[in-house]
Structure 1
Amino acid sequence: MLARAASRATGRLGWLRGSIGALCGIAVAALAGRLLATALPAFPWLLAPLGASAVLVFAVPASPLAQPWPVIGGNMLSALTGLAVHALVPGPLLAAALGVAAAIAVMSMARCLHPPGGACALLGAMASPAVAAHGWGALLLPLAVNLAALALAGWLYNTLTGHSWPHRKPAPRPEPTERYETSDLDAVLEEWDEVLDVSREDLDALIRAVERRVAAKLVR
């Protein structure tokens, strides 16, 4: 049992690596935010969506949702969307709902879907007293500083621990003519040493479905 727990912590992209990375990333983002708050005391120095972004950047760096453009673009565009909805829609309840809905649409069209962006949209749609007093910059400027610091920490930490960020797909190899077995899939996943945003079972089902489709085409 102890060996299994140790494997989960330190094995293929185990939680220990992600935890240490998040510690470093949030600390760097907080430090950058505090430096900004020294010059602009009324502005927040650390925004809550950074915690969710850190989980993606450091725990699943190969995920499409955790890449630099989704992290930065998704959060910033969502915050802008939420602020715009707040300015146009009366009432916090309706503004909050429309803000998140619109942010999903904007992120999808901009190809930067990032779940923490929903929280940034809520922050904008339910604008704080600081935003009311100092304008949109009271949210956008601290958020941009936090995200830039988190992205820098994510790039450094993932690179130093052997996981490219932005994620680089493995180079294509000649496909074998034999049908694969699940043990081959397990071996490739171990070789890649990445946590993918899809389950092993779904990958297996996808590969087998592609094989069946190719085989059907060859029979025609």
Structure 2
Amino acid sequence: MFKFPRPTALGQLRFGGRLGWARGAAGALVGIALAATLGLSLPHAWHWPWIVAPVGASAVLVFAVPASPLAQPWSVLGGNMLSALTGLAVGQLVTTPMLAAGLAVALAIAVMTSARCLHPPGGACAVVGVLAATAPDGGWLALLLPLLLNVIALIAAGWLYNNLTGHAWPHVPAQAPPMPPGTWAGMYETADLDAVLEEWDEVLDVNRQDLDSLFRAVERRVLRRWADDRK
């Protein structure tokens, strides 16, 4: 029988301890409420959506993992808007719905990567763009304007809430302090880290500088423990 793996200590660290989820949940409440309020300001006669579903996924990233490279302001803005535009363009050019949806997401990934704004909810925006392309005249505007207002509100709420709760946003990578001389700690160079990342050939959802600072912090903790053991 299949069993789901148990959460690891690293998973607990990433979510900020036992109450990290509460901070993220409260932030999402604020961000989505603000996005919805701004969306509701659109004239009701236009029958446009007051909130676009992918914004909910963006809120999870912005408030639950604000240090992620995928959750930074440009990723939220560019990832959602460029993907929606990509989906609209594909939907206009490709008449087979299944092919259009797949092609839109594939191209959205390429566009986001090229623009350095990779953002998972962008894939959903690309699909929504394909659907909006088949709507009556003005359907594309019914997607772009509410989405833009939602995203702007979410970014504003993310900037205010994250910074007020002690999480600099946009994220500033931690600077590792110099290691004490004459010990094994700090012997690796950043070139070694780059080489290992190159060998792994995987996209990691963490800033390279944050990885380096994490390793240095582990080394310093080991040094302190060894010093305590010698007393």
Alignment match of 2:168 (pick from 146, 158, 164): 164
Alignment match of 2:32 (pick from 26, 49, 53): 26
1:136 CA drift (Å): 1.9
Q: Percent identity?
A: 64
Aligned equivalent of 1:80: 85
- The TM-score with structure 2 as length reference comes to 0.71
Q: Distance in 1 between matches of 2:131 and 2:17?
A: 41
CA RMSD of aligned residues (A): 2.8
Work out whether 1:35 is the aligned partner of 2:41. yes
Q: Distance in 1 between matches of 2:215 and 2:61?
A: 26
Work out whether 1:146 is the aligned partner of 2:147. no
Q: How many residues align?
A: 182
Aligned equivalent of 1:108: 113
Alignment match of 1:49 (pick from 31, 45, 54): 54
1:43 CA drift (Å): 1.1
SS in 2 for 1:166: coil
For the structure 1 residues 37 and 134, does the alpha-carbon distance in structure 2 shift closer, same or farther, using more than 3 Å as the test? Answer: same
Aligned equivalent of 1:17: 23
SS in 2 for 1:99: helix
1:207 CA drift (Å): 5.2
Aligned equivalent of 2:229: none
Give the partner amino acid of 2:85: L
Instruction: Show structure 1 runs of 5+ residues with no match.
Output: 1-6, 182-195, 209-220
Q: Distance in 1 between matches of 2:170 and 2:215?
A: 25
Q: Distance in 1 between matches of 2:140 and 2:147?
A: 11
- Structure possessing the higher relative contact order (Cα contacts under 8 Å, 6 or more residues apart): 1
- The TM-score with structure 1 as length reference comes to 0.74
Aligned equivalent of 2:9: none
Aligned equivalent of 1:94: 99
Alignment match of 2:130 (pick from 113, 116, 125): 125
Aligned equivalent of 1:134: 138
Q: Distance in 2 between matches of 1:37 and 1:45?
A: 10
Q: Which runs of 4+ in 1 moved over 6 A?
A: 7-10
1:61, 1:158 within 8 Å by CA — same for their partners in 2? yes
Identify the structure with the greater helix proportion: 1
Instruction: Show structure 2 runs of 5+ residues with no match.
Output: 1-11, 187-203, 217-231
